[in-house]
Amino acid sequence: MRALAVLVATVILSFGPAPIATAQIGPNAPAPLTQQDPPPPPEAPKTDEGGLSTLQKVLIFGSAAAILVLIGWFIVRDAHKAAPIEERGPQTPEEKRMSARERERHQRQRRAKDKAARQQRKKNRSR
């Protein structure tokens, strides 16, 4: 009995969905599309048009590198001009002849003078 029920259920399920599916599609449904082979690709041109030659590439990259070096040189030159002279080390012949202790004393004096100037600016700011 159980085997008969399984057989009946299998027959019903196997034949049941097919008529339902065709009823949903309808009698006027278009036929399934067939895929056509794609057309062959066009032939590539055999002439080299518009490409850069090796010399042109070298000139482009060489000029770009030269411009970058020139920009760096101008930046460094400007930085050296703007740097305080005191920070560069002894410049005058008298400073070159000074002993290390004298240079340290001058540096302490310079720092004290700078500190006093900062404090004076702070004091004037609040007015």
Domain locations along the chain:
53-83, 90-127
DSSP 34: P
Has residue 5 got a pLDDT over 60?
Answer: yes
pLDDT in tens, 28-75: 666 666 677 788 888 877 766 678 889 999 999 999 999 999 999 999
- Residue 23 pLDDT: 52
Grouping H, G, I as helix, E, B as strand and the rest as coil, residue 90 is coil
- Residue 65 pLDDT: 97
What percentage of the chain's residues is helix, strand, coil (to nearest 5)?
70, 0, 30
Quick one: pLDDT band at residue 2, thresholds 50, 70, 90?
A: confident
Residue 81 or residue 91, greater confidence: 81
- Residue 117 pLDDT: 92
Q: Which of 2-16, 28-42, 53-67, 78-92 has the highest mean pLDDT?
A: 53-67
